[in-house]
Chain A
């Protein structure tokens, strides 16, 4: 039923979303922890920067990334000096772009979960002589599990749903940067409505099921 190119696009999208979600959990957790605990003046500006992709049109992000990662941009000059070439039109380029693009969807749920913990469990752990790292991994993280779950689901789903940024920096290369959303766009433009319907339907069902699973397994957050 699925053509090879459609299947390739689906697999590529899943690979991208998985890698991005893992990276974002690694990068986003310390940021969320810091944002949840700090009293620094920097909390406001950093929160705003993290949340920017929610507000900015993907075309703005795509434009800046294309310029910055291009051969004359600062990021491009850096990657070239490392002998890595430039990032646009490559899979790592999409990963970098998606990490920015999906960052708030991972950081914010984790941050909320950390904030909801309050000081008491951590203080209690401290009186039992748990060190800071121990407190973080054995107290904070398990208690914030629902937040991590929401963050993973949203980060994954949002990356799957990415379109504008990929269109601008991807170059539409099969198996490298042609993700499902771009493939659907191509089908629509080429008037291949049957294939567009098939892929669009898969996306719709997938997105619904992912969100449904999140709300079912995380009823307390859903009720809030």
Chain B
């Protein structure tokens, strides 16, 4: 085959894939990775629509969406960015809702390192405390709030190592480079319990609630699959999955 013909055939195949109406691109906050994978699988089974997922920091997605990223739905780690996108005309008004309320956890990969009351923070017998960048990630900001409330920020600050998002923060801890750190409960929870290491589930009254909002983006306006996904996220089936990863609703 002539190379240009081959290229044409390739492009035609790709284009056919792109216009396939039942597939949507969803930007998902990193902390919601595990539950969203489970939900998307069920969603596809139940509705026939396919949700293709991209995971990352909400701030990065916000910047990408502002600059024309081809997402139809955005599941943010906070409630500010979806609201902002709506104000800026980049999201469908009225589509926004809170799909989950995040739970913060102080976690170590080592069993027995973190006690059930978080006293380990006061002991300070560690070199590195990982958290997501408070400037960029709601879970990072919540972590600082907790330490502020406990009066420990000043003494712990020299030990801070910051992940670019909550997934990288967890990876610092998993690899043992940081002895412990603040992550989302959903990241360390499996089948309704913390599956590895040791953890202190931070009481919700120590920080402002981490409301995580979803919104249909301008790109997904009138898109049946996008609307179906939003509806699905509110269903009892999705709620059960979301709760099993330690989120409140």
Residues of A within 8 A of B (CB): 66-67, 69-72, 85-86, 88-89, 167-168, 171-173, 185-186, 188-191
Decide if A190 touches B135 in the complex (CB within 8 Å): yes
Q: Which interface residue of B59, B127, B160, B161 has the most chain A CB atoms within 10 A?
A: B161
Decide if B63 touches A188 in the complex (CB within 8 Å): yes
Q: A171-B161, A173-B161, A190-B135 are in contact. Are A71 and B172 (CB under 8 A)?
A: no
Name the interface residues of B158-217: CB closer than 8 Å to any CB of A. 160-164, 168, 172, 175-178
Q: A89-B128, A172-B164 are in contact. Are A189 and B177 (CB under 8 A)?
A: no
> Which chain A residues lie closer than 8 Å to B130 at the CB level?
171
Decide if B136 touches A70 in the complex (CB within 8 Å): no
Q: A185-B164, A189-B60 are in contact. Are A171 and B172 (CB under 8 A)?
A: yes
Q: Of all chain B residues, which has the CB nearest A89?
A: B161
Residue-wise, chain B 104-119 has the 8 Å CB interface mask toward A (1 for contact) of 0000000000000000
Complex Cα distance, B62 from A71, in Å, reads 36
Whether B133 sits at the interface, judged by CB under 8 Å, is yes
Q: A89-B128, A167-B164, A171-B162 are in contact. Are A191 and B176 (CB under 8 A)?
A: no
18 example contacts (A-B, Cβ-Cβ < 8 A) are as follows: A67-B175, A70-B175, A70-B176, A70-B177, A71-B176, A86-B177, A89-B161, A89-B178, A167-B164, A171-B128, A171-B162, A171-B178, A173-B162, A185-B164, A186-B133, A189-B57, A189-B59, A189-B60
> Which chain A residues lie closer than 8 Å to B133 at the CB level?
172, 186
Decide if A66 touches B161 in the complex (CB within 8 Å): no
Complex Cα distance, B1 from A138, in Å, reads 61
Complex Cα distance, B175 from A168, in Å, reads 12
Residue-wise, chain B 56-89 has the 8 Å CB interface mask toward A (1 for contact) of 0101101100000000000000000000000000
Q: Which interface residue of B57, B168, B175 has the most chain A CB atoms within 10 A?
A: B175
Q: Which interface residue of A69, A72, A85, A189 has the most chain B CB atoms within 10 A?
A: A189
> Which chain B residues lie closer than 8 Å to A71 at the CB level?
176-177
Complex Cα distance, B17 from A210, in Å, reads 45
Using C-beta atoms within 8 Å of the partner chain, give the interface range for chain B: 20 to 34
Complex Cα distance, B173 from A72, in Å, reads 12
Decide if A89 touches B63 in the complex (CB within 8 Å): no
Q: Chain A contact residues: over half helix, strand or loop, or mixed? A: loop
> Which chain B residues lie closer than 8 Å to A190 at the CB level?
59, 135-136
Chain B nearest CB from A185 CB (Å) reads: 7
> Which chain A residues lie closer than 8 Å to B59 at the CB level?
189-191
Complex Cα distance, B162 from A89, in Å, reads 9
Question: CB within 8 A of A66: which of B63, B127, B177?
Answer: B177
Known pairs A168-B168, A188-B60; list 4 more (Cβ under 8 Å).
Answer: A66-B177, A72-B176, A189-B60, A190-B59
Question: CB within 8 A of A89: which of B57, B164, B168, B177?
Answer: B177
> Which chain A residues lie closer than 8 Å to B163 at the CB level?
171-172
> Which chain A residues lie closer than 8 Å to B176 at the CB level?
70-72
Decide if A186 touches B177 in the complex (CB within 8 Å): no
Chain B nearest CB from A194 CB (Å) reads: 14
Complex Cα distance, B164 from A72, in Å, reads 23
Question: CB within 8 A of A186: which of B136, B161, B175, B178?
Answer: B136
> Which chain B residues lie closer than 8 Å to A186 at the CB level?
133, 135-136
Complex Cα distance, B127 from A85, in Å, reads 9
Q: Which interface residue of A88, A185, A188 has the most chain B CB atoms within 10 A?
A: A88
Q: Which interface residue of A71, A167, A172 has the most chain B CB atoms within 10 A?
A: A172
Complex Cα distance, B179 from A85, in Å, reads 13
> Which chain A residues lie closer than 8 Å to B135 at the CB level?
186, 190
Complex Cα distance, B163 from A100, in Å, reads 23
> Which chain A residues lie closer than 8 Å to B172 at the CB level?
88, 171
Decide if B175 touches A189 in the complex (CB within 8 Å): no
> Which chain A residues lie closer than 8 Å to B175 at the CB level?
66-67, 70, 72
Q: Of all chain A residues, which has the CB nearest B172?
A: A171
> Which chain B residues lie closer than 8 Å to A69 at the CB level?
177
> Which chain B residues lie closer than 8 Å to A70 at the CB level?
175-177
Question: CB within 8 A of A189: which of B127, B128, B136, B178?
Answer: B136
